[in-house]
A and B are shown apart, each in its own frame.
Chain A
Amino acid sequence: MSKDTKHLRPRDLGRDVAVLSPTDDLKPLPSTFDASLEPEFKEFKDEWAETYCASLDGFVAIDTLKRPETKEEEEEFVRKFLSGLEKLFQDSNKNAVQPLALNMEFCAKCNTCSEACHIYEESNGDEIYRPSFRVDVLRRIYKKHFTTAGKMLGGFVGADIELNWETIARLAELSYRCNLCRRCAQACPMGLDNGLAAREIRKIFSQEMGIAPKAIHEKGTELQLKVGSTTGMTTPAFVDTAEFIEEDIEERTGRSFKFPMDKEGADVLLIHNAGEFIAWPDNPAAFAILLDEAGVDWTLSSEMCAYDGVNYGAWYDDIQAKKIAAKQFEVAKKLGVKRIVMGECGHAHKAIAVSADRMFAAEDKVPVESFLPLMLTLVREGRLKFDPSKNNFPVTLHDPCNYVRQMGIVQPQREIIRACTTDFREMTPHGVDNYCCGGGSGFAIMNNQNFSDFRNHVSARKKLEQIINAFGEDFENPDVLKYVCAPCSNCKGTIRELLKDYKITAKYNVQYSGLVELMVNALVSMEKPFFEFLEE
Chain B
Amino acid sequence: MASVASIFALLAVIGFLILSAAKFAKYSKFNQHSRFDLYPVPKEGNGRGEYGGSYMEEDLWWEKPRSINHVAELVDMGKEMFFIRKLFMNQPSLWVPSMLFHGGIYFMMLFSVLLLIAAFVASPVLETITTVVGVIGFCCALLGCLLLLIRRLTDASLAAYTTPIEYFNLILIAAVLITGIISWLSAANVFEVARSIVTFNFAELPGIVVLHLILLGIMMLYIPASKMGHYAGKFFTFHSVLWNNEPNLPGNAVNSAVKASNAAGATVKWSAPHASPAPAPAPEPIAEEA
Chain A interfacial positions (CB closer than 8 Å to B): 7-10, 80, 83-84, 87, 90-92, 94-99, 101-102, 105-112, 114-116, 127, 132, 136, 153, 155-158, 182, 185-193, 196, 206-210, 217, 222, 317, 319-320, 339, 353-355, 357-363, 365, 367, 369-370, 372-374, 376-377, 404-412, 431-433
Indicate with 1 or 0, residue by residue over B262-281, a CB within 8 angstroms of chain A CB atoms: 10001111111111000000
**Residue contact B94 to A99, C-beta cutoff 8 Å:** no
The residue on A at minimum CB distance from B235 is: A191
- The distance in angstroms between the C-alpha atoms of A83 and B266, with both chains bound, is 16
Interface Cβ pair total, 8 Å cutoff: 253
Q: Give the chain B neighbours of A87 by CB distance below 8 A.
A: 268, 270
Q: Which of B11-19, B103-111, B113-121, B244-252 contacts A (4 or more CB under 8 A)?
A: B244-252
Q: How far is the CB of A158 from chain B (nearest CB, A)?
A: 4
Query: A80 contacts which chain B residues (CB < 8 A)?
Result: 271
Task: Quote the shortest CB–CB distance from B26 to chain A (angstroms).
Answer: 9
Interface of A is mostly: helix
With a cutoff of 8 Å between Cβ atoms, the chain A residues found around residue B62 in the complex are 367
B167: shortest Cβ distance to chain A, in Å?
A: 10
Q: Is the CB of B270 within 8 A of A116?
A: no
Please judge, given known A-B contacts A156-B165, A158-B165, A319-B275, whether A373 and B39 are in contact too, CB under 8 Å: no
Binds A, one of B1-9, B44-52, B187-195, B197-205: B44-52
Which residue of B is nearest A186, CB measured? B38
Bound: A2/B200 CA distance, A:
64
Q: How far is the CA of A101 from the CA of B98 in the complex (A)?
A: 24
Q: What are 13 of the A-B contact pairs (CB < 8 Å)?
A: A9-B160, A94-B30, A98-B30, A102-B237, A115-B91, A189-B80, A191-B234, A354-B35, A358-B32, A362-B250, A363-B255, A411-B57, A432-B40
Cβ–Cβ contact B36 & A196, under 8 A: yes
Q: Does B37 contact A (CB under 8 A)?
A: yes
A407 to B57, CA, bound (A): 9
The CA of A508 and the CA of B158, in the complex, are separated in Å by 42
* Interchain CA distance A412-B52 in the complex, whole Å: 12
Contact across chains for A10 and B161 when beta carbons are under 8 A apart: yes
Whether B262 and A361, one on each chain, are in contact in the complex, defined by CB atoms closer than 8 angstroms, is yes
Please give the number of chain B residues whose Cβ is less than 8 angstroms from any Cβ of chain A in the complex: 81
Point out the residue from A97, A408, A411 that lies within 8 Å of B41, measured CB to CB: A408
CB distance from A352 to the nearest CB of B (A): 12
List, in ascending order, chain B residues with CB within 8 A of A359's CB. Answer: 34, 258
Instruction: List the A side residues contacting B234 at CB < 8 Å.
Output: 106, 190-191
Beyond the given pairs A9-B161, A80-B271, A408-B41, 16 more chain A to chain B contacts, judged by CB atoms under 8 angstroms and listed by A's residue number, are A84-B271, A92-B268, A92-B270, A98-B241, A99-B241, A112-B86, A157-B164, A196-B36, A319-B270, A319-B274, A353-B56, A362-B248, A362-B251, A408-B37, A408-B52, A433-B52
Chain B residues with CB under 8 Å of A358's CB are 32-35, 248, 254, 258
Whether B125 is near chain A, meaning CB under 8 Å from some CB there, is: no
| Nearest Cβ on chain A to B275's Cβ, whole angstroms | 5
Please give me the residue from chain A that is nearest to B264 by CB atom: A91
- How many whole Å from A406's CB to the nearest CB in chain B? 6
User: Within 8 Å CB of B163, what residues of A?
Assistant: 155-158
**B38 with A182: CB separation less than 8 A:** yes
| A195 CB, min distance to chain B CBs, angstroms | 9
The yes or no answer to B87 lying at the interface (CB within 8 A) is yes
Closest to B160 in A: A9
B54 touches A193 (CB 8 A): no
Q: Say whether B87 contacts A112, CB under 8 Å.
A: yes
B166 touches A83 (CB 8 A): no
Residue of A nearest to B23 (CB): A105
Given contacts A87-B268, A98-B31, A191-B238, contact A412 B87 (CB under 8 A): no
Task: Give the distance in Å from the alpha carbon of A182 to the alpha carbon of B55 in the complex.
Answer: 20
Residue of A nearest to B49 (CB): A408
How far apart are the CA atoms of A442 and B37 in the complex, in Å? 20
Which A residues are in CB contact (< 8 Å) with B267? 90-92
Is B58 close to A, CB under 8 A?
yes
From A110, A353, A360, A431, contact of B87 by CB (8 A):
A110
Verify B227–A361 contact, CB threshold 8 A.
no
* Inter-chain contact A190/B161, CB cutoff 8 Å: no
Residues in A with CB closer than 8 Å to B262 are 360-361
Whether the pair A410, B57 counts as a contact (CB closer than 8 A) is yes
Closest Cβ of chain A to B164, distance in Å, is: 5
CA distance A357 to B268 in the complex (A): 23
Picked from A10, A111, A319, A355, the residue with its CB within 8 Å of the CB of B34 is A355
CB <8 Å contact, B86 and A98? no
Q: A193-B242, A210-B272, A406-B38 in contact; A369/B161 too (CB < 8 A)?
A: no
User: How close is A321's CB to chain B, nearest CB, in angstroms?
Assistant: 9
Given the known A-B contacts A410-B51, A432-B51, are A83 and B271 also in contact in the complex, defined by CB atoms under 8 Å? yes
Instruction: Tell me how far the C-beta of A516 lies from the nearest C-beta in chain B, rounded to whole angstroms.
Output: 16
In contact, A406 and B39 (Cβ under 8 angstroms)? yes
- Chain B positions within 8 Å of A115 at CB level: 90-91
> Do residues A407 and B160 form an inter-chain contact, with CB atoms below 8 A?
no
Complex alpha-carbon distance, A206 and B272, angstroms: 7
| Chain A residues near B55 (CB-CB < 8 A) | 408
